[in-house]
Structure 1
Amino acid sequence: MGDESGPGARRTWLISTAVAAVVAAIVSVAASFDGAGAVDHVLIVAGSLALAAHRVAPRAVLAVTTLCLSAYVLHAHPGTSAALPVVGAVHTAARTGRRGVAALASAAFLGAYLATGPTSQEIVERTLLLAGWFLCALVTGLADKNWQAYLRQTEQRALEAERTREEVARRRAGEERLRIARELHDSLTHSISIVKLQAGVAVHLARKRGDTVPPALLAIQEAGGEAMRELRATLDVLRDERPPGRIPDLVERARSAGLAVDLKVSGTEDALPVDIERAAYRIVQEALTNAARHAGPAEVAVRLEQVRPGHGPAELAITVDDDGRARPDRPCTAGTGLTGMRERVTALGGTLHTGPRDEGGFTVRARLPLGAP
């Protein structure tokens, strides 16, 4: 423990020094009544103040305290108060697992006290009392050590239980995703497939008869195919936590559908976390869908950038701007798409701003922290 540093270690050192000074003062006052001289007070102060280093070097403290106070006992023949620093050093040594050394120091100090030639009454009243003190110091030191070990084991068990709860929660979440995926597959996939099939049959029959194919049928057929692709992507996300696709591929599909999209990516060379990548894909997808539906003939700029604001954690900045028909004086009502986008960003601990731009058009700006939410 000699390499401890910081405010906590300094505070502990100050407390230990203050306690050692109090012990030295108590024993010195008691020694004054026993007629102790200057040499005795030096031995008392040296042995007591050594207790300040009990956390750093408990064996050295035990040796210094025992030698100084034993010398004081042999020189001045004091009362039992001289044992106070040694009892503290014995307790500290026993708490750190040095039971044999602590017992040896206790026996050495008692031997020094007996060497002063006390009377039979003093042997009974004082020596046995000192022996009891040292026995208590050894026992409490061992109990303190066992209690610390028990606390460490309890903390480890609590951490293990927390990890187990997290694993169970993740497993249950995965099972729930699979259940939802099965339900969606059994209900929506069948219905959408029937709609797409019937539209395809109607288109085929119209062309076979030489009739003009109604645009509504072609739109239904195309929308059915797109809905099937989106549903499959959603089911893949529910079955697996991987992102449904890459944003460049998403932008290319939007361009092929007639939307003018400019994509710029900067500062994201490192692989993004799976949840961040999935959320970014959905945000850009929803923003492009809204632009295609509501912006009219507009140009869309998509920007992805990894930024580090100030000294905070890194973030993924997502910006989707269009120059469409939206105006600040005509506020729009957030639909299901924007609401879901906000919920997704909030769940990751990020921020989202959506609304008309001052220069015209609509903007979507999201910040997603790349650390744990």
Structure 2
Amino acid sequence: MDLNSVYQRLNTGSKKWSQYPEDVLPMWVADMDFPVAEPIVMALRNRLEHPLLGYCVAQDSLRQTLVDHLARHYDWVIEPEDLVFLPGVEPGVNMALNTLVPAGGGVLVQTPNYSPLLHAPAHWKLPRVDLPFRADANGEYPTDLEALQRGLARSRALLLSNPHNPLGKVFEPEELRAIGEACVQQDVLIVSDEIHADILFDGRRHTPIASLSAEIAERTITLMSASKAWNIAGLKTAFAVVQNAALRERFNNGRLGLVDSVNALGLEATEAAYRLGADWLAQVNAYLQDNRDYLAQALQTRFPGIRMNLPQSTYLAWLDCSALDIEHPQQFFLEHARVALSDGLEFGAECGQFVRLNFGCPRSMLEEALARMERSLQRR
């Protein structure tokens, strides 16, 4: 598979490439510029041989494929009936908050955080309780467990981003266990967004928080999808793992006419990804790690005013531009470099000096984006 080819995505309805004028290089939304794995394409073609595309349900083969994937990759044993299929992780987050958190119950969110998670509590008039990450001397972002306990005392739910977006943090099992046990002790629901679980660097391994103990699993809604790792976000398919049957029933009741069934092609693509997409994913992960390392080297040698802690997961780099002394870095690079990055303010009110850069693209696109940014700073 050739990951270096640049595919023309203008006029395809791509959100990433439609948001800005054609002369802007889009490096913002979490959407990779790589072609979909051939097994997924073949599965879609085969499905389209049948002329009907009515309402669909997940078949037993898809459920078993996911059960096998979770056991093989995470040592997480679940049952097929634990799976709930959804048109996205974000709808699952909002279903959980609206249905399972009592009125006025606080929702603890580690900040900075992915904008839809950050703003979800307000949709349901639930107070958000922020738990800020602070980088330690090693550039890591450990959870402040004492602050966690204080935050949980004011909360009825924890929104967890695991792996973390935008920090690219992979939580170690010991840290997750401490978080999970604190939630058990304080009777707090865990809603865990694990959409980036299959994008990992440097030999790391993802740990679903619900896999750590039966007690943690009993209060956890885990949300996953093939959309990020296999680049099929437009097919709008995700799934929740809810091992507590009573909690699963209450969660499903939260559809409320808003969260409908999953489309037929998304279900086919998801099964093909998890069943047949391992080789493609391994190649993409290796390419992403090389892109990450190229980006890190370029920032170190060519951008003394920008700092980045090396992402351990995702294809998203969290760039600290505070040393550039630019009031609004995202706007500066958009106007002067014609490069569209995600604005740090989307991830937290204290993040105005940060931008998020998507390096899930052919190397030539990453090189061009950095060259444009470098020239814009030289002209300043």
**TM-score bin (small chain):** under 0.3
TM-score normalised by length of structure 1: 0.21
Q: Radius of gyration: which is bigger?
A: 1
TM-score normalised by length of structure 2: 0.20
Indicate the structure with greater helix content. Answer: 1
Structure showing greater relative contact order (alpha-carbon pairs closer than 8 Å, 6 or more residues apart): 2
